[in-house]
Amino acid sequence: METAGTILAQAEGHLGLAIKNSVDHFYQGHDRETARLIRNATEDEAARHVEALRRGRALEVLLVGGSAVLGVVLGAVAQGVTNNFTMRGVPVMAPVGFTGLAGLALPVGLSGRTMVVTGGLAFSAGAALYQRLAGESPKVTP
């Protein structure tokens, strides 16, 4: 005999599976299937689906953070390779990072565009940080 508690536990299990399936479908690019799952859900279930989609996955957050760290490191290394050359006080490699803003136009998901833009801007920050920490660039005399 099933008790009310076991029935509720089964329902919660089915709801959890439905949310996991809708999130998986969303990230696999099955937008129509995700929309169908949300449309056929109750209002509370649909709100949970949307919340899970909006929150994203932990891996994506870690990848954005990794992109930022990598951008800073690569920007600093690139500025160091140029012997800390500046033009009117601006590190010569800093503008290169702004090409990451092109990531806004990429036909990928939000997290992919965020990684590209974050990495590019962090590259500029890394170049500027290197220039500040390394001090004056050497003077070139003809």
Give the pLDDT of the chain (142 residues) as one tens digit per residue: 566 555 555 555 555 555 555 556 555 555 677 777 777 878 888 888 778 777 777 788 888 999 999 999 999 999 988 888 888 888 888 888 888 888 888 887 778 888 889 999 999 999 999 988 887 765 555 5
Tokens in use for 71? Answer: 């951008």
* Strand partners of residue 87: 90
Q: 67 and 106, same structural domain?
A: yes
Q: 69 and 39, same structural domain?
A: no
Q: 71 and 22, same structural domain?
A: no
Q: 62 and 130, same structural domain?
A: yes
Task: Please check whether residue 141 lies inside any domain of the structure.
Answer: no
122 close to 72: Cβ distance less than 8 angstroms: yes
In this prediction the pTM is 0.63
Tell which of 25, 40, 55 closes a domain.
Answer: 55
Q: 97 and 45, same structural domain?
A: no
Domain total in the chain: 2
Give residue 33's domain range: 4-55
Task: Please check whether residue 139 lies inside any domain of the structure.
Answer: no
Q: How far is CA 43 from the centre of its chain?
A: 29
Q: 13 and 73, same structural domain?
A: no
Q: Where are the beta strands (DSSP E) in 37-126?
A: 86-87, 90-91
Task: Please check whether residue 140 lies inside any domain of the structure.
Answer: no
